């Protein structure tokens, strides 16, 4: 099978469970990429390829980029955490091309396999969702990403060419970002002058941080992202508020904009260890803002589209726009 067979816009469906099972090793993975329990619900459906996964960002120290091959993202497909203790990270799922079949433009969805056909695949996926040496730790595509990829230098220009050749981005977008932003930011980083930092006051009194009243935001509420100056007043010298990092390059672009609350986040799996982390303070996910990979030092063009996490102190409640949709409140689960 050609590593470049699938491209953005292609229609695909999962291959039969027996075909997928035949590709997996004893750890439930193909070339390091796990087939997870959350993926079983996708049988009998047709999806559209969103992007080829030519590279992804590595959020484990040291932060950088990793090269992946033979993997795609599908539109509206994220992990719902059902097989991983209710993790709310909502990561995009990695799909190996070997698990997918190309569908004709007007082809009907395949018939879903029966439970007997899925049983062995379900058993293998469930068994490998936990660390075999420590059942208290989880294994998922995010925790195993380094095993499924290879290091990639930010100065390897081939990665940027691949993004355009694959159809992930246009040549114009690729050239604009690499020449007008990425090159300048990487040179600043080499000079240890990071770009995109918030204009924080010279003297930050931690005890006097701005602490707006509790909003108790719920899914469907409307908010406006506070100004950069207001947010900066809530941050310590490490750009954190109670341990939550404000990623200024990606998040400061949303200041002054209005969004609907997607949900409150209470637990996610730590990618470096597989531990389930429980948030002690408010953590909000908004509908709309995503890390697009076009303002990410060292990780340009990553397609993971991670949801940023927001403190209530960085938001203020506003009235819903007159024509606002209310369907978000009724949404169930993560996968569309």
Q: So where are the chain's domains?
A: 11-152, 158-190, 206-330
Beta-carbon contacts of 71 under 8 Å, excluding residues fewer than 6 positions away, are: 33, 52, 53, 94, 95, 96, 97, 148
> To the nearest 10°, the Cα dihedral for 293, 295, 299, 305?
-30
Q: Report the C-alpha gap between 39 and 41 in whole angstroms.
A: 5
Q: Report the C-alpha gap between 327 and 334 in whole angstroms.
A: 14
Beta-carbon contacts of 206 under 8 Å, excluding residues fewer than 6 positions away, are: 236
Residue range 5-48, pLDDT digits in tens? 899 999 999 999 999 999 999 999 999 999 999 999 999 999 99
Q: How many CB atoms lie within 10 A of CB 25?
A: 11
pLDDT value for 211: 60
Q: What residue ranges of the chain have pLDDT lower than 50? A: 1-4, 201-204, 206-208, 329, 332, 336
**Quick check: 57 and 31 in contact, CB under 8 A?**
no
Helices of type H across the chain: 17-21, 115-127, 158-165, 171-177, 183-190, 228-232, 248-251, 327-330
pLDDT value for 193: 58
CATH architecture of the domain with residue range 206-330: Roll (2.30)
Q: Report the C-alpha gap between 8 and 270 in whole angstroms.
A: 30
Q: Which residues pair with residue 130 across a beta bridge?
A: 138
Q: Report the C-alpha gap between 324 and 319 in whole angstroms.
A: 10
Helices of type H across 207-270: 228-232, 248-251
Q: Which residues pair with residue 268 across a beta bridge?
A: 277
């Amino acid at each position: 099978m050609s590593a470049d067979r699938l491209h953005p816009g292609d229609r695909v469906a999962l291959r039969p469970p027996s075909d997928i099972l035949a590709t997996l090793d004893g750890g439930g993975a193909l070339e390091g990429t796990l087939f997870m329990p959350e993926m079983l619900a996708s049988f009998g459906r047709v999806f559209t390829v969103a992007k080829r996964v030519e590279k992804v960002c590595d959020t484990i120290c040291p932060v950088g980029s990793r090269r992946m091959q033979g993997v795609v993202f599908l539109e509206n497909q994220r992990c719902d955490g059902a097989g991983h203790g209710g993790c709310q990270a909502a990561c995009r799922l990695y799909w190996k091309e070997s698990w997918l079949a190309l569908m004709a433009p007007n082809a009907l969805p395949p018939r879903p396999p029966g439970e007997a056909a899925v049983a062995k695949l379900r058993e293998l996926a469930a068994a490998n969702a936990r660390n075999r040496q420590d059942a208290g730790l989880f294994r998922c595509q995010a925790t195993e990403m380094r095993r499924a990829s290879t290091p990639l230098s930010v100065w390897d220009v081939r990665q940027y060419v691949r993004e355009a050749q694959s159809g992930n981005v246009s040549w114009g977008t690729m050239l604009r970002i690499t020449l007008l932003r990425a090159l300048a930011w990487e040179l600043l980083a080499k000079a240890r002058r990071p770009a995109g930092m918030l204009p924080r006051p010279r003297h930050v009194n931690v005890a006097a941080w701005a602490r707006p009243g509790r909003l108790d935001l719920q899914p469907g509420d409307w908010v406006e992202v506070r100004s950069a100056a207001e947010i900066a007043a809530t941050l310590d010298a490490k750009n954190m508020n109670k341990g939550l990092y404000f990623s200024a390059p990606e998040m400061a672009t949303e200041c002054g904009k209005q969004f609907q609350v997607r949900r409150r986040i209470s637990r996610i799996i730590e990618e470096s260890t597989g531990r389930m982390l429980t948030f002690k303070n408010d953590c909000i996910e908004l509908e709309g803002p995503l890390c697009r990979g076009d303002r990410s030092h060292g990780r340009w063009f990553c397609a993971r589209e991670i949801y940023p996490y927001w403190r209530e102190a960085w938001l203020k409640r506003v009235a819903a726009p007159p024509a606002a949709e209310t369907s978000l409140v009724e949404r169930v689960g993560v996968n569309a």
